[in-house]
Amino acid sequence: MPTPHNTAKPGEIAKTILLPGDPLRARTLAETYLKDPVQFNSVRNMYGYTGTYNGKRISVMGTGMGMPSIGIYTYELIHEYGVKNLIRIGSCGAINRKVRIGDIIIAQGACTDSNYAYQYGLHGTYSAIASFDLLRKAILSVEKHGFPYAVGNVFSTDIFYKEKPLWRDWAKMGCLGVEMETYALYCNAVRAAYASEGADSDAKSLVNPHADVKALGIFTVSDSMVTGETTTPEERQNKFTNMMEVALDVASKL
């Protein structure tokens, strides 16, 4: 069913979707890489398209900036449209000296200063991690292509303009880059996949239609908090293609 944020009809969105934050990047990816792309959404200019890549049906859709935004779109994609594989493709800032401009970061896990997981009623701090299957496929792909990359934690923050910079503290805990969405994506995917776990004994026989939902975040380093380096628009356009090719490679194998 269409939602207040997505006018797609049942069946118009593929089981695997790529999720850039920028809707214009979604359009560019669809027009550049997908065969016969068909637009399924334009509500709030959050463009979404479905086409094929290497014979595999794949969708791409923008998610906007921040966890509240990606939280809405990915929840609906999972629960209203039956999407199974959600791959975020975005930019991030490096907070580790070993990660350079243009490198790819594959987010094994996401730390956060957000209160997103509060909704689950957990008495502790939740560690949000990627699907190992998607993570493994992404590593194999990036190594096959020979692109420079790193695998580890990213820091998903709620605040872009901070009163006091916090990235140094997260860097001391091994985080590689800072971005604003992945923690919510991983929470939504895992919560859907494990919804039937821990249920009352009389509910254990219930079938969970989202048990095979998977998520992964892949990023291109667009600037460095450590060195102060940044990229030009032209460099972003050229460098980001590596990330897109890895994501499409993974998506085509699902």
Contacts of 137 by beta carbon, 8 Å cutoff, 6+ apart: 249, 250, 253, 254
Q: Can you tell me the distance from the alpha carbon of 5 to that of 166, in angstroms, rounded to the nearest whole number?
A: 33
Only one residue has tokens 């972003």, namely 236
Contact criterion met (CB below 8 Å) for 33 and 248: yes
Which residue from 113, 131, 137, 153 is spatially nearest to 215, judged by alpha carbons?
131
Helix (H, G, I), strand (E, B) or coil at 238: helix
Cβ neighbour number for residue 87 with a 10 Å cutoff: 28
Catalytic residue among 36, 133, 158, 223: 223
Tell me the three state secondary structure of residue 169.
helix
Nearest to 139 by CA among 105, 90, 115: 105
Report the candidate in 156, 170, 151 with the shortest Cα–Cα distance to residue 106. 151
223 is catalytic: yes
Residue 213 and residue 193 in contact, taking contact as beta carbons nearer than 8 Å: yes
Catalytic residues, by residue number, are: 223
